[in-house]
Structure 1
Amino acid sequence: MNMPIALPAAHQTLMFNEAAETAALVAGQFARNRETVAALASQLRASPPPFVATCARGSSDHAATYAKYLIETQLGIVTASLSPSIGSVYAAPLRLEGALFIAISQSGKSPDLLRNAEAAKAAGARVVALVNVEDSPLAQLADTVIPLGAGPEKSVAATKSYLASLAAIAQLVAHWKDEPGLLAALDTLPQSLGEAWNQDWSTLTDGLVDARNLFVLGRGLGLGAAQEAALKFKETCGLHAEAYSSAEVKHGPMALVGAGFPVLVFAQPDETGAGALAVADEFHARGAEVWVASARGASSTAPSSVQLPLAQAAHPALAPLLTVQSFYRAINALALRRGHNPDLPPHLNKVTETV
């Protein structure tokens, strides 16, 4: 006879307590990295790269999605994700002369990421490492290191290191653009993250206890948040979830959505928000269970979906960090409700060393 596994209380998990540290660590990160980031930004303004390439895996790659949209919307510089397999498996030479190569990693020691960073540097790219382990091999080979400063993260599910990655990207882009509004918004981010942590998303937790499948929708700056949420549903809750752009979901995947099918929508407080809300209304009208995280409130064109409260972002570009922070608290509780320990997902390790 199998004995039930004893689970901690929601506030006792490593995931809960590590995610709860985010506001304070981002404040420290901004203060510590300000001079390094400002110097790098000055160099990038003086000699703009022709394009930006990112390289990462897992949650760090979801941070890279955020980087793509933030750099392209704020700076107008094309940004693409470089598959780690290009350098490690295919060993294909790439033309990266003058490019900015951003490697994002918690451990800084995944072999495929290191090979790509080495290849990028050899090809003439400026290598910038966003890394949590400051004496890691990745940090040692980078031209510039922006430490995440998240400290030890013992839960297998990354939380504070992911948000620290987004914060580092936001700080770099704000200084690079040198735009007063975005720079001022950074100063308010730690307080806003604290407010986001205290939002009540219990309706989402209650509604997904018995779910088997789920779509998570975002768009633009919010797409990386949707990708991160879908990963966390699978990783911590054993719940199959897929992330889609709220535009792309209408190109086939929406055929699956109908009565009883759950959908979580992250609506950005920017030009993409109205479209996301319209999709939420359409799915709700078809009988789907829909939760909408939106600072703008519910759409008025159809019966209201379940609304999830969001902390107000001082700048739309920072909204994804607040959305994810509220989500982390909810997903920790959901994992426990579904009988899973979010700190110890089956078959997973903290560091995945792919080659």
Structure 2
Amino acid sequence: MSLMATEAAEAPEAVARFLDRNASALIELGQRLRRSSPPVILTSARGSSDHAAGFFKYFCEIVEGVPCASLGASVVSVYGGRLKARGAMCLTISQSGQSPDVLAVQEAAREAGALSVALVNVADSPAARNADICLALHAGDERSVAATKSFIVSCAAAAAIVAHWSKDADLLAAVARLPETLKAAAGLRWPGFGAFAAESSSMFVLGRGTGFPMALEAALKLKETCAIHAEAYSVAEVMHGPWELMEEGFPVLVLSPDDAARANTAEAVAKMRAAGADVRVVGGGLPFAPSGHPLLDPLSMIQTGYLEIEMLARGLGRDPDRPRLLRKVTETL
């Protein structure tokens, strides 16, 4: 078994550990956000962590109605831009907590008057030390280049922050159940997915709402572990320019939780199939473990997806832990 598979399977336990060890801090952060009522949320992250930031964005905007934007790190680290962020919150998400560009945004936001909150797996990293509030992920060592459990814990943390901020009882309950939901998801398989994806040199991965960041994450993992050119789009956005690529047999993976966009997604899937595309739908043919809250369901989907992609990589003769050109820590400016 690869490190990627081992570490992905550890995600349920890691989420339980995060929720237990940060229980008081989450309550206090929720209270602080209700008192300060930030008019905008900024995020600073790269790679998979930026997809977790996107998951947080949808929760902020759907549940709290507060705009949330991912800052271009180079705005500060390369172009020397000065932020105006008084009263905002800046959330830094990083497995290593040491990428220079992410740290530059964190520091610039603090200097501009934003509350700095960090989600980091390395508790003694610069990002952890420089934050006003640090919620350690407690995901444990992650040695595979392909981040899995640290991403899932980051997303669980993002949902937990909004749940405590909003005091949404249904969301709080679903977050508390996440360890058992993820454990169930880790035991599921997507029939036929391996053969479907293995024959693809290029494919789409689609989602909407909180499913879109998970589509981005799945596409990234297909690229970095399987060398499959997978591109992620919103189900709505793919109907524009990317639609021209639809042809007979074109492979499309769709993440479709039972949320407010489900009917629209079903209509889009029907149009793709009418155009000849080979469409596989998680939540309609491919199983997932329901979380009890539609906004959290895509996190359950990526738990299953990680293990499917790991098996696909090995089936293609690739080592999912050691991509040809990638390293575990990428330091960019």
Aligned to 1:316: 294
Q: 2:304 aligned with 1:343, yes or no? A: no
Aligned to 1:80: 69
Deviation of 1:202 (Å): 3.7
Task: Determine which of 262, 265, 269 is the counterpart of 1:276.
Answer: 265
Give the 5 Å matches for 1:38-57.
Answer: 38-57=27-46
Counterparts of 1:235 and 1:96 in 2: how far apart (Å)?
35
Counterparts of 2:266 and 2:112 in 1: how far apart (Å)?
44
Deviation of 1:72 (Å): 0.5
Counterparts of 1:133 and 1:82 in 2: how far apart (Å)?
22
Q: What is the identity, as a one-letter code, of the residue corresponding to 2:229?
A: H
Counterparts of 2:312 and 2:261 in 1: how far apart (Å)?
28
Q: What is the identity, as a one-letter code, of the residue corresponding to 2:305?
A: F
Q: 2:37 aligned with 1:59, yes or no? A: no
Task: Determine which of 175, 179, 189 is the counterpart of 1:200.
Answer: 189
Deviation of 1:282 (Å): 1.4
SS, match of residue 206 in structure 2? strand
Q: What is the identity, as a one-letter code, of the residue corresponding to 1:153?
A: E
Cα deviation code 1:282-321 (max 9, x no counterpart): 1112221111001xx3xxxxxxxxx211111211121111
Unaligned ranges ≥5, structure 2: none
Give the 5 Å matches for 1:125-140.
Answer: 125-140=114-129
Q: Contact conserved, 1:221 with 1:268, CA < 8 A, in 2?
A: no
Q: Contact conserved, 1:75 with 1:177, CA < 8 A, in 2?
A: yes
Aligned to 2:306: 328
Counterparts of 2:153 and 2:36 in 1: how far apart (Å)?
27
Counterparts of 1:194 and 1:40 in 2: how far apart (Å)?
27
Q: What is the identity, as a one-letter code, of the residue corresponding to 1:192?
A: T
Deviation of 1:219 (Å): 0.7
Counterparts of 2:84 and 2:216 in 1: how far apart (Å)?
29
SS, match of residue 71 in structure 1? helix
Unaligned ranges ≥5, structure 1: 1-11, 298-306
Decide which structure has the larger Cα Rg and report it: 1
Give the 5 Å matches for 1:1-355.
Answer: 12-294=1-283, 297=284, 307-355=285-333
Cα deviation code 1:247-296 (max 9, x no counterpart): 000111011011011000001211111111221121112221111001xx
Aligned to 1:304: none
Cα deviation code 1:141-190 (max 9, x no counterpart): 10000111111100000000000000000111100001111111112111
SS, match of residue 207 in structure 1? helix
Deviation of 1:197 (Å): 0.7
Counterparts of 1:166 and 1:58 in 2: how far apart (Å)?
13
Aligned to 1:9: none
CA RMSD of aligned residues (A): 0.8
Displaced runs of 4+ in structure 1, greater than 6 A?
none
Identity %: 49
SS, match of residue 84 in structure 2? coil
Deviation of 1:50 (Å): 1.2
Number of residue-to-residue matches in the alignment: 333
TM-score by length of 2: 0.99
Deviation of 1:25 (Å): 1.0
Pick which of 229-238 and 308-317 moved more: 308-317
Counterparts of 1:338 and 1:282 in 2: how far apart (Å)?
31
Counterparts of 1:340 and 1:276 in 2: how far apart (Å)?
33
